Structure 1
Amino acid sequence: MDIASSSANPFAALGLAREAPEQQKQELGQEDFLRLMLAQLQNQDPLKPQSNGEFLGQMAQFGIVDGVQELNSGFADLGGRLAGEQTLSAAALLGRDVLVDAEGRYSGDGIAGSVQLDRPAERVAIEVVDGSGRTVRQLSFDGSAGGEITFAWDGRDSEGEMLPAADYSLVARAERPGGSEQLATWLAAPVRAVSRDGNNVRLELDGLPPTPLSDIRRIS
């Protein structure tokens, strides 16, 4: 038999090939720690043996490290289970309208939402701004009663012309005698899909960026 052609390693055909060394571990496990401790006890100075306190201290340290590792693993498993349950719960929202904090960003041709006044104002102004920074529509509401004020934009500009579906920003302000205050804008949109990124559950909303489940303020 042609040894050279039967194998890339000529020693393999003679049974003399050396096995590839196993990849060295990069971390010490429980067995490694116990072996090191046993070696330490066997090689200690007989005239200066390790005290019981030091030995128990090392055992306690190992127990703490091992416990922390198990605790972290348990938390990771719990987080995955909770995220799975949240995903199933969020699936019940498909097709329903939710009110979320979307920072006033909207992509479409009309939107409804609300703002919250912590105290009365003379007027609440909501500006619809296009991608170039131009205000294409301004809505005005009486804010004298305070509380929640709902609004709806029909997708038209100040001249009544229908605007194309695009990215818009909604900026809300409360106007008072001493000046104006910018308000957080909550937008309403139907839930189209539910997605999961690791342990985070997100809602895919019509016209809005993906929104965390925890950002829902109201379900319609």
Structure 2
Amino acid sequence: MTSIDPSLLLSNKPSTKNTGSSNLGKDEFLKILMTQLQNQDPLNPMEDKEFIAQMAQFSTLEQTTNMASMLEKFINIQTQGDSIIKYSEMIGKRIEWKNSNEETGTGVVKSVKKGDTGFELEIENGSFISVDNIIKVSNADS
């Protein structure tokens, strides 16, 4: 009967650790492709079809990377809590506000600005109201 050497069993093998990224990025892909081109056999060069296929893979990888980057930027813009565009919809609207001293007022929004403490709305008399103090928004003609 033949016995199996225990050193050949997978459970007895030391574990290996990967020291690098397991993701192949566009820079690494291009380096591999250039190395492959530089070290190819001059008597048996790479087929045109193979080269075109690899370039198409590289182009696809680059476009996918660009699309992922743009999508990430788009998501960041969409998920930001406060933006001047969000408050620009209030221009021309009538607002009512109440400040920390319980003083109230109304006015039509003329412009929006980002101040040191947050966004502020300028009303027709030239004063600025913090968006945190707004209690009602309505059409200016109502």
One fold, TM greater than 0.5? no
Higher helix proportion: 2
Higher strand proportion: 1
TM superposition score normalised by structure 2: 0.39
TM superposition score normalised by structure 1: 0.27
